[in-house]
Structure 1
Amino acid sequence: MKLSRLLTVLSLVLVLVVAGCSSGGDTEEDTSSSKNNDKKTPPSSEEGLTIAVESNFTSLDPHDTNDNQSYSAQSAIYEGLLGFDKDLNIVPVLAKEYSANEDSTEFTFTLKEGITFHDGAPFNAEAVKANLDRLSDPESQLRRASLFELVEKTEVLSEYEVKVTLKEPFGAMPNNFAHPAAGMISPKALEQSNQDLARNPAGTGPFKFVEWKSGDHLTVEKNEEYREEGLPKVDKIEFKPVPESGSRVAMLQTGEADFAFPVAPNQVETLKEEEGVSIETKPSLVVKYFSMNTMKEPFTDPKVRKAMNYAIDKEAYIKVVYDGYATQTKSVIAPNTQHYEEQEVYEYDPEKAKELLAEAGYPDGFETTIWGGTSSLKQKMMSFYKQQLSQVGVTLNVVPMEGGTLGDKIWGVDNPEDAELELYNGGWSPSTADADWGMRPLFSSNSFPPDAYNTAYYKNENVDELLQKGLSTADDKERGEYYAEAQKIIWDESPWVPLAVPDILYGKQDYVEGLTMLSSGVMDLKQAEIVSE
């Protein structure tokens, strides 16, 4: 690394450490005082596990959830017809088996028998139909409805057999059925209002819902009637929202938490020295970025958007924000996503950024505002953007918001022209592990908020057509070609500043086994247990 680059990185580290102090603890100093070199005493199975998470949950309705943290809690309660194993292979869950016709327009599921929902309702083909009818209803306005917009009808063939017919071929539809959004909800619960359902879940999973006190805890307890013998292995799990990364680490050090996700990258070395605590890492499907509202000046101009890309040093971002536990994004989807196509990166070039801004009519830069979450790591990200953009004359106002407020500000706007959003600090994991869900919700012109997650309000007719073609064929080779072309166009038009694919980092007490994270960023809680020596 050149000396000038090294000095830049070191100065950024200093700036961001100072910024982090005000957000409640991103530095080693915040946690070293609570260091405990004694092995923790495992809780009993009756006491259960405490899991420290980054922020509050948004919903317990899987059909209307848009964040992986909420899906992590829901994974204890709900199950789908299909799911993913730890290697993202599709496996049957509530389905005994399934088959598709030759052109992937009909999917027939044979269901497991003798299963009941937590509220006593039977799991059968009628329950599956009720769920899929809700998910595929274009008037539902559910956040995950676009995953099932191709469903034309769901038919009950017998008590434990159901057929789903699509409007057109789609070879990756099993990936959508495996997405956590396809969790099966009790038909009794579906009779509630969406608002009531979001806080009173009833699924078929290994744990039953107990209570949710926003900002404090969410508790689930063992489903005594769970169909798999010996599961679950703990009686209770309590999730505790802890936005400050230093506080989550301190809870691991003192034994107050048994599992913590995420662990901030700059806390990894601290925890590696902690007796009785293990740090786990794995590649993710997550892409970190910030989007630019392409319907608002100055981001209507591609030159400005490209300037923003050249103005951000991605290598320094990975060093400062992730302590090296990430890789640079080279497309708008992560490498482990099906049909990924690498692009030519925007190298860090502030002089090029200034030239483009001048050509666009902003020789002195401009002022803009970014919205994002309140966690320590997210605030560190936005502080980094602010410092970097200041070097090319762009003044960035950082506005952190709690999840509910942020959601209302973005997804509470029906008319794109009324959107106040300028920049959004985002991250996306296609939990189907396929390019369709990695791109369509974010770049289709049919995906503007509140319908989906195109916070760039990006619209390109060619991209729309390519995404639709990828959605409408069962030929995997053709799908790959369509998605490759779409990635190239989007990359060139730069509605985002793509930044990094972070590693998944989580910490756990050594006595915790079976509890892990999938590459999508969703927890797998089914096999969680407490192992005493």
Structure 2
Amino acid sequence: MAIFKFPKQAAHLAMAAAVAFGASAAQPAFADDILTVGNPFPPFSLDPALSGNGRAGTWLLPTYEPLVRTKADGSFEPALATSWQVSDDALSVTFTLRTDAKFSNGEPVNAEAVKKSVEYFVNKKGPFYVNLASMTSVEVLAPDQVKISLSEPNPAIVSLFDQNWNAGAIICPAMIDTPDVLLTESCGAGPYVLDSANSISGKTYVYTPSETYYDQSKIYWDGIKISVFQDQNSGVQALKANQLKLLISDPFTGHSNRAAVGDSLRLVTSPLQWAGLVLTDRIGEVNPALADIRVRKALNMGIDRDLVAKAMFGDLAYGTDQIQAKGFVGYDPALEEMYPFDVEKAKALLAEAGYGDGLRVKATYVTSTLNDALFQAYAGQLSQIGVTLFADPKTGFAGLRQANKDRTYETLLFNTNSGIPDLAKFQTLSPTGSLNAYATTDDELTALIDKASATVEPDARKAAWEAVYRRVTELAWFLPVLGIDATYFATSDIETPEIGQSVIIDLAWVKPANK
């Protein structure tokens, strides 16, 4: 019989989260005309070229208008660009820009400004520059037309310039000339402007309406206030006390509090992430055991994924053996049978590899309510096969980046969006990707990725990416455990866009329910 070891710390976290909605707070609620948001992730940087993305890039959403917006169904809608054309070979995209957009400092948004911003994004070599590492040129074809060319085909090239991937967060030319200012100020073409005088670095960020935004009718709030709530229990208490209208949360907290959510609060969820361990040290530089595929396969057999999913997340998660989420190109149901939970077989593989007497493995992660609980669950499960998982917690993404730079990773406990494989590959599989600290490569995998990236026809593209993810799963470069829902809490007096393939709730389009 499988035993789910849910240690006291994780149990206490669940209990604390569950009772949080019953707590009261004496602090005053914020004005109804201010959108108040809680985010578990402090900003890695306010410079779009250096920032995190998705939920970790929420800080950029009010101030930087993208070239396009991705909707929940995966289609695009105009933003700074009114139209776009991808070449037949997927080597270039041409954007036609709206002519009435201005940056918050009054500079016009034109092709020259877009060129300067995109080139700055790539040259800064931030967390997501690898998405455009194959960029060969940015050409100004007309004052309102810009062409971006690549050396390698990417059928998802338009997505790189949406509200999630940061390259489309176009920065005003003047600020690029003094980039250090971007660490404390904003200068985008979005509906709001960062009010640095009333913001507290690392804690609270205040935004005021931009007088230069091209569509004043879509400025729905007198201001936006985003506060850091790394402790989700404090976040749900703030919601209950009417101090927040929206909390960027996680499925652990969502499941724990689901029964307490009433008429005044609701959960907004979308299944688009995977959670588990990135087995980063596949070359055995820090931990020689991880270079042995038998060890990596044993780790994959050492966790009862379905049990963890049900115990911690209810219906907000499912067990999975692969790093692509259900509903996205490349997901293959057949891969879910590759690493069934089998304690005895896992132990046998470890013994065959020379680790029958036990193995210690380090897990590095950013501490949060979710990650702390996941670590406890993973450690409890792996102890059944003789593996001691020990924690290397960091207080922010800067700590992860430093560990990457110092090459001290063994494994990385991480939760990340799956999404479009043409983009996800850059972070997870590329030798320069942020989740490939030791630049691991595999010739067969590289050939499969190249083929998939060059395939445009939908059915052939689906099959090609399924082959990629099958090879990734065979190599056991990762220990995927869960497919999880992106989870938000929202009050009943706001209207939020659907998440879906847009990956995030775009704060620019959150509005009062009565508007």
TM-score > 0.5 by shorter chain:
yes
Q: Of the candidates 276, 285, 293, which is equivalent to residue 302 of structure 1?
A: 293
Alignment pair present for 1:217 and 2:204: yes
**Matched-pair contact (CA < 8 Å) for 1:113–1:124:** yes
Q: 2: distance between equivalents of 1:522 and 1:152?
A: 29
Q: Of the candidates 133, 151, 154, which is equivalent to residue 167 of structure 1?
A: 151
**Matched-pair contact (CA < 8 Å) for 1:291–1:497:** yes
Q: 1: distance between equivalents of 2:350 and 2:313?
A: 29
Alignment pair present for 1:498 and 2:480: yes
Structure 2 CA distance for partners of 1:79 and 1:267, relative to 1, 3 Å: closer
Aligned letter for 1:400?
Answer: P
Structure 2 residue aligned with 1:12: 6
Q: Please list the CA deviations of residues 440-472 of structure 1 after superposition, one character each: whole Å capped at 9, or x if unmatched.
A: 32122343xxxx321475321111222233334
* Matched ranges for 1:28-427 at <5 A: 28-34=18-24, 43-45=31-33, 48-137=34-123, 140-178=124-162, 179-181=164-166, 182-193=168-179, 195-211=180-196, 212-268=199-255, 270=257, 272-292=259-279, 293-296=281-284, 297-342=288-333, 343=335, 344-413=337-406, 419-427=407-415
Structure 2 CA distance for partners of 1:133 and 1:42, relative to 1, 3 Å: closer
* Residue aligned with 1:60, SS: coil
**Matched-pair contact (CA < 8 Å) for 1:169–1:474:** no
Structure 2 CA distance for partners of 1:55 and 1:145, relative to 1, 3 Å: closer
Structure 2 CA distance for partners of 1:260 and 1:365, relative to 1, 3 Å: same
Structure 2 CA distance for partners of 1:156 and 1:321, relative to 1, 3 Å: same
Structure 2 CA distance for partners of 1:496 and 1:102, relative to 1, 3 Å: closer
- CA drift of 1:361 comes to 0.4
Structure 2 residue aligned with 1:436: 422
**Matched-pair contact (CA < 8 Å) for 1:31–1:250:** yes
**Matched-pair contact (CA < 8 Å) for 1:331–1:498:** yes
Q: 1: distance between equivalents of 2:217 and 2:120?
A: 33
Structure 2 CA distance for partners of 1:270 and 1:472, relative to 1, 3 Å: closer
Structure 2 CA distance for partners of 1:363 and 1:13, relative to 1, 3 Å: closer
Structure 2 residue aligned with 1:459: 441
Structure 2 residue aligned with 1:530: 512
- CA drift of 1:55 comes to 2.5
- CA drift of 1:382 comes to 0.4
- CA drift of 1:313 comes to 1.1
* Residue aligned with 2:487, SS: strand
Q: 2: distance between equivalents of 1:132 and 1:315?
A: 43
**Matched-pair contact (CA < 8 Å) for 2:92–2:147:** yes
* Residue aligned with 2:62, SS: helix
More displaced stretch, 257-266 vs 118-127: 257-266
Aligned letter for 1:244?
Answer: D
Q: Please list the CA deviations of residues 413-453 of structure 1 after superposition, one character each: whole Å capped at 9, or x if unmatched.
A: 3xxxxx111111012215xx311222232122343xxxx32
- CA drift of 1:65 comes to 2.5
* Residue aligned with 2:208, SS: strand
Q: TM-score, normalised by structure 2?
A: 0.90
Q: TM-score, normalised by structure 1?
A: 0.87
Structure 2 CA distance for partners of 1:109 and 1:157, relative to 1, 3 Å: same
**Matched-pair contact (CA < 8 Å) for 1:105–1:169:** yes
* Residue aligned with 1:353, SS: helix
Q: 2: distance between equivalents of 1:154 and 1:406?
A: 33
* Residue aligned with 1:224, SS: coil
Structure 2 CA distance for partners of 1:151 and 1:457, relative to 1, 3 Å: closer
Aligned letter for 2:476?
Answer: S
Q: 1: distance between equivalents of 2:317 and 2:373?
A: 15
Q: 2: distance between equivalents of 1:353 and 1:520?
A: 38
Q: 1: distance between equivalents of 2:90 and 2:475?
A: 33
* Residue aligned with 2:290, SS: coil
More displaced stretch, 437-446 vs 486-495: 437-446
**Matched-pair contact (CA < 8 Å) for 2:41–2:56:** no
Q: Which stretches in structure 2 are left out of the alignment for 5+ residues?
A: none
Q: 2: distance between equivalents of 1:277 and 1:400?
A: 35
Structure 2 CA distance for partners of 1:263 and 1:467, relative to 1, 3 Å: closer
- Number of residue equivalences: 504
Q: 2: distance between equivalents of 1:458 and 1:497?
A: 16
Structure 2 CA distance for partners of 1:63 and 1:176, relative to 1, 3 Å: same
More displaced stretch, 472-481 vs 199-208: 472-481
Structure 2 residue aligned with 1:416: none
Q: Please list the CA deviations of residues 27-61 of structure 1 after superposition, one character each: whole Å capped at 9, or x if unmatched.
A: 4245433399xxx988332xx12111113111122
Q: Please list the CA deviations of residues 269-322 of structure 1 after superposition, one character each: whole Å capped at 9, or x if unmatched.
A: 645535542222432321112012112211000010011111111112212332
* Residue aligned with 2:104, SS: coil
**Matched-pair contact (CA < 8 Å) for 1:221–1:236:** yes
Structure 2 CA distance for partners of 1:100 and 1:270, relative to 1, 3 Å: closer
**Matched-pair contact (CA < 8 Å) for 1:515–1:526:** no
Q: 2: distance between equivalents of 1:250 and 1:41?
A: 12
* Residue aligned with 1:226, SS: coil
Superposition RMSD in Å: 2.6
Aligned letter for 1:278?
Answer: L
Q: 1: distance between equivalents of 2:251 and 2:147?
A: 45
Q: 2: distance between equivalents of 1:67 and 1:410?
A: 19
Q: 2: distance between equivalents of 1:257 and 1:272?
A: 19
More displaced stretch, 90-99 vs 520-529: 520-529
Q: Of the candidates 487, 498, 509, which is equivalent to residue 491 of structure 2?
A: 509
Q: 1: distance between equivalents of 2:225 and 2:147?
A: 37
**Matched-pair contact (CA < 8 Å) for 1:271–1:277:** no
